[in-house]
Amino acid sequence: MNDPSEALASAKAAADRVVKTKRLNACLTGPKDLRKSLVAQAQAAHPSGVLYGMPVAVKDNIATLDFPTTCGSKILEGYRSPYEATAVVKLRAAGALITGKTNCDEFAMGSSTEHSAYGRTLHPFDKTRVPGGSSGGSAALVAAGVVPAALGSETGGSVRQPASLCGVVGIKPTYGRVSRYGLVAFGSSLDQIGVLGRSVHDAARVLSVISGRDPKDSTCEDRDPLRLPTVPESLQGFVIGIPKEYFPADLDPAVRRACDRVIRLFREQGAAVREVSLPHTSFAVATYYILAPAEASSNLARYDGARYGPRFDGATDVRALYRATRGQGFGAEVRRRILIGTYVLSSGYYDAYYRKAQQMRALIAQDFRNAFDRGVDLLFTPTTPTAAFKAGEKLADPVAMYLSDIFTVTANLAGLPAISLPIGRAKGLPLGGQFIGQAFLEDELIEAAYALERVVPATTEA
């Protein structure tokens, strides 16, 4: 597309689609503001951009100038960032149209998008189910065909898990591949902006645009943007590892059948398949739920009613103001994680929890290095243990909710890239499988995903 009239038509059509899918509660931007902004963006976009006229929605924890950035939280209600995230600046420069802000679990803490102060997002296939989270709004908009791609963010699987549950593609890049400037901090050593797309190609081309060096983020690697690989004829030459810890005896039978079908396809496509072991996998969720809340308790200390968003008045002194604002402004899940994080960092518990978890993280990262050192190019695993679950099913039991990230958190702990793509259905609901690759070898991941996407029966029952 390089015709301004087509870009304008694309902008208006995207605004119409957002209105038509309002019942999903996936987009937090009001329809009038969105339409006005989209039209202005289409008129301002330069036709030479590689994403010219492409509507891309953005998760609400990524700073934008046009729309408020609330992180799905009451504590940031109406908050407008004075600057824009580097990823969004790059999208605009490439001619993409920012199609509003998407609903998410508050401060990206959750796996179902039920923990948003602005109401839960519905699964586009079944309104009684969750779309996953925390980037559930982005996943639902892509799955509903509103946008071809959307930005999400990952701390423990928040792009791949909703991508899997909604039947779309989700890429989590290597830590340091994409600038975190303008991504509201949750767990800074884990956070990365990722992309959800209706196909591997859509997700990959958005990733290639937002990737690359950024002097505003010292944790962003000094590298050129990702170059997209060509679509391969087969998987000839790939050595794919199957980690046995990701296929426990009690794995959901439909998930197992879908994965077995994919493994047969790998062989048919000429790949070598090897069983490997990542022995510390079973400790990953526990490790994650120490480190991420610890970092969150520090990162979220800044929301105190003095600098950001609304303040809850009536307090007698400044500390009472902080406590009242944070007590009323944060939702239950965020409060719980802040308290867990404060607990594991407090005197007397630091060694038993935080320090030990740091050591476990090193062991989990070493497991991956050992597997790759033995000649494996990529690992293949299920993305989630089940298909989309019922809304409310796991709300009362935080540990059960946390376990829905069991197959995704390891890549975040090790800082590795991973991509989830649809591999089948279970009673009509999508199932996802993921490749995990070596650091900064996203091109290999994408190449393998291209090859698998061509042959996998993604919409048939497993």
Question: Is 158 a catalytic site residue?
Answer: yes
Let me know if 270 is exposed, middle or buried by CB neighbors in 10 A (0-12, 13-18, 19+). middle
Number of residues interacting with another protein: please give it, by CB under 8 A.
63
Indicate if 404 belongs to the active site: no
Burial of residue 421 (CB within 10 Å: 0-12, 13-18, 19+) is: buried
Catalytic residue among 112, 116, 134, 179: 134
Contact 158, 193 (CB under 8 A): no
324 binds another protein (CB under 8 A): yes
Give the Cα separation of 124 and 129 in Å (integer).
9
* 50 lines the binding site for another protein (CB under 8 A): no
| Closer to another protein by Cβ: residue 19 or 301 | 301
37 catalytic residue (yes or no): no
283 binds another protein (CB under 8 A): yes
Task: Rule CB under 8 A: say whether 185 interacts with another protein.
Answer: no
Cα separation of 419 and 194, whole Å? 10
Query: Does residue 386 belong to the site contacting another protein (CB under 8 A)?
Result: no
By the rule CB under 8 A, 323 interacts with another protein: yes
Q: Is 335 in the site for another protein (CB under 8 A)?
A: yes
Q: Say if CB 420 and CB 440 are below 8 A apart.
A: no
Minimum separation from the CB atom of position 297 to another protein (A):
6
Q: Are 34 and 76 in contact (CB under 8 A)?
A: no
Q: Which of 13, 19, 231, 352 binds another protein (CB under 8 A)?
A: 352
Give the dihedral sign, CA 45/86/58/453.
Answer: positive
194 sits in which H/E element: strand 192-197
Q: Which is nearer to another protein, 221 or 453 (CB)?
A: 221
Between 20 and 369, name the residue whose CB sits nearer to another protein: 369
Torsion of CA 265, 266, 271, 277, to 10 degrees: -150
190 or 209: whose CB is closer to another protein? 190
Torsion sign over Cα 366, 371, 377, 383: negative
Binding segment for another protein (CB under 8 A), chosen from 11-19, 42-50, 160-168, 287-295, is 287-295
Check residue 370 for interaction with another protein (CB under 8 A).
no
395 touching another protein, by CB under 8 A = no
Does residue 365 touch another protein according to CB under 8 A?
Answer: yes
How far apart CA 36 and CA 417 sit, in angstroms, is 36
* Contact flag: residue 198 with another protein (CB under 8 A): no
Which whole-number Å values give the CA distances from 352 to 279, 287, 403, 414, 420, in the listed order? 21, 12, 22, 21, 34
Using left for φ > 0, alpha for ψ between -120 and 50, and beta otherwise, residue 137 falls in alpha
Of residues 212-241, those binding another protein (CB under 8 A): 215-216, 218-219, 221-222
Q: Which residues bind another protein (CB under 8 A)?
A: 79-83, 175-176, 189-190, 215-216, 218-219, 221-222, 280, 283, 285-287, 289-290, 297, 301, 304, 319, 322-324, 326-328, 330, 332, 335-336, 338-344, 346, 352-353, 356-365, 397-399, 402, 413-415
Active site residues: 59, 134, 158
